Structure 1
């Protein structure tokens, strides 16, 4: 039986040629040629002034927090349902993570819950564009502006998504991206920080290279900082993928359309939502089951795996994880975040690899219907 993977990239001759050029030529005086090309093109794509390539999105969030001078005694608000990388850097800088609830339709940060979590110690918020969907950024930006909070827009899963004509990653003080091998646009591993602010750019460039100014040739470090740089081969792969980004996004939206058509008649099953005025790039096609099915995500994944279909669980609420077991804020969230704890237990990411065929999607959907019917 052919197994259907949950994720995977779409690589063409262009990517192979660009990476080959980087590994052949991007040394010595040409070491940064591909970085500069990728960063310039990505900034133009987003419509922002600066794009800084990094080894992963976690580094982009970490550097954002440092640039905003977030540290011990401060609080940062994140949505409860997201990958831990959205929140872990808050701990890295010694601040406290506060877990807000999610919207029941977009599964992104709920603006009302966000505002209810603000205290005099709150310094920043990290809204996450979950699975390619967009939160209510007008409401979130309004709350942040009134309370003078920095916005780190976590666009790790949403390259190409849009909010009222603006691209994901261009709506905060910084926007952060992941180019992990599972993402729509990949560099194998990799990340990027985007911003319009010159001061943030300068600070991030300094911090990502062991605390020395850009262009320094004397190895004269003025702070103990970090080594957060992407390789030229990764940058070349990213440049090639970016030139094909509309093709990649169109494929993701096509795959979602296949699922929507196949599952249209299944009562009690909800797929990703595309809010008016937004464009969802459907990084992961996600199915949320009604409680009446009595199927938890772990059991659903087992049943589909037995049919040769790989899935992923909807992110567990961060406040439910052992990593935050001793956090007082996690305890509060467990009592408060009703939507997160209602949606997550019965939701899975269905196969969403860029090389999926219509026939494979049909097989996934038939298997899902069979499981739900008890067959």
Structure 2
């Protein structure tokens, strides 16, 4: 038996819409499903505009560039995150300023941000991690006080809410990913969301090799990217969006089953995800565990692997990444980020996980103790 860490779920109109693309010949980014997905998803989240792109990383590149910062400006970003946000910052000549994480929510420690602000600080890139959102009310207070732009990375938060307000509606601009392990997927893909019409047009230009909207074609005045989403990808996205509420319910069901069945791990020194905080219920995009020490983490991962069950380690902190060894922030010590990375891993959590397979995962873990 093999139970992967993620299995996507295609239970709706995905095949029907893909066949429609093939039958009509509209497979490129010019096809009608792209606009349909943009309007549908932005409406669902509660933003005025959605710009569909080829990945979540592409969405970050566009978002960071579109807000119009100057080379040398600083953006505060968590060290405990996937590498994409920091890549996007550095590629544009901007400076990432790393903040440590909160051990309870596993998100950026918002209370530590204000001490990092300098005259060069222009933005905060808030990344919601694994299932709970960043404390956005406190973050907005800090941003307003210091006149900082908020970029919201909601790549893992489709459908999550902060005090009843959907993630993806905060700040000047926000992004999502539609990678295969997300709550809705297009295989690869992403979207930039905003409310300002000028910012919307700016993002669309950057997505399309910076073709000018007026003037002669193939004449370019700045760098851009080919980050367009295809009609095929968007067709899958439209079908997935039709079932997003069911997907969110299923994610929380998977999380609740793990919470109840694995509660005994707390007595063994493990930290389970927090089911809720004052401002949100856990979405359980993934179900993570923090082991009491590294040897125990490796022991349980090896035990699961030998029984055909996949796991995935937590993110590796940005200040410890070899690619950044020559950057000033590599000299930092951020103990919570380091602890999360060293001791954390997550279990099979994909939407395609069946109850039977989840029972196998749980029974295999119980057999290890």
Q: TM exceeds 0.5?
A: yes
- 1:163-312 equivalences under 5 Å are 163-214=162-213, 218-266=217-265, 267=267, 268-273=269-274, 274-291=276-293, 295=295, 297-312=297-312
**1:20 Cα deviation after fit:** 1.4
Q: Is the Cα contact below 8 Å between 2:101 and 2:108 reproduced in 1?
A: yes
Q: Which residue of the partner structure matches residue 331 of structure 2?
A: 331
**1:276 Cα deviation after fit:** 2.3
Write the distance in 1 (CA, Å) between the matches of 2:248 and 2:218: 42
- 1:138-157 equivalences under 5 Å are 138-157=137-156
Q: Which residue of the partner structure matches residue 58 of structure 2?
A: 59
Q: Which residue of the partner structure matches residue 358 of structure 2?
A: 361
Q: Which residue of the partner structure matches residue 82 of structure 1?
A: 81
Q: Is the Cα contact below 8 Å between 2:125 and 2:151 reproduced in 1?
A: yes
Report how many aligned residue pairs link the two structures.
366
Distance 1:30 1:58, change over 3 A: closer
- CA offsets, 1:299-355, max 9 Å, x none? 5423321121100001111111111112111212x2xx2211222211111111212
Return 19-28 or 74-83, whichever deviates more.
Answer: 19-28
- CA offsets, 1:100-157, max 9 Å, x none? 0111111111112222222111121111111131111111111111111111111111
Q: Which residue of the partner structure matches residue 3 of structure 2?
A: 4
Distance 1:26 1:161, change over 3 A: farther
Q: Is the Cα contact below 8 Å between 1:43 and 1:51 reproduced in 2?
A: yes
Distance 1:339 1:52, change over 3 A: same
Return 209-218 or 261-270, whichever deviates more.
Answer: 209-218
Return 312-321 or 69-78, whichever deviates more.
Answer: 69-78
Q: Which residue of the partner structure matches residue 350 of structure 1?
A: 347
Q: Is the Cα contact below 8 Å between 1:26 and 1:33 reproduced in 2?
A: no
**1:192 Cα deviation after fit:** 0.2
**1:298 Cα deviation after fit:** 4.5
Write the distance in 2 (CA, Å) between the matches of 1:322 and 1:124: 25
Write the distance in 1 (CA, Å) between the matches of 2:43 and 2:223: 32
Write the distance in 2 (CA, Å) between the matches of 1:34 and 1:153: 25
Write the distance in 2 (CA, Å) between the matches of 1:46 and 1:302: 40
Write the distance in 2 (CA, Å) between the matches of 1:72 and 1:217: 29
* Gapped regions of structure 2 (runs ≥ 5): none
**1:296 Cα deviation after fit:** 5.6
Q: Which residue of the partner structure matches residue 321 of structure 1?
A: 321
Write the distance in 1 (CA, Å) between the matches of 2:88 and 2:349: 28
Write the distance in 2 (CA, Å) between the matches of 1:205 and 1:136: 30
Q: Is the Cα contact below 8 Å between 2:29 and 2:231 reproduced in 1?
A: no
**1:278 Cα deviation after fit:** 1.3
- CA offsets, 1:142-194, max 9 Å, x none? 11111111111111111111101111111121111110112121000000001
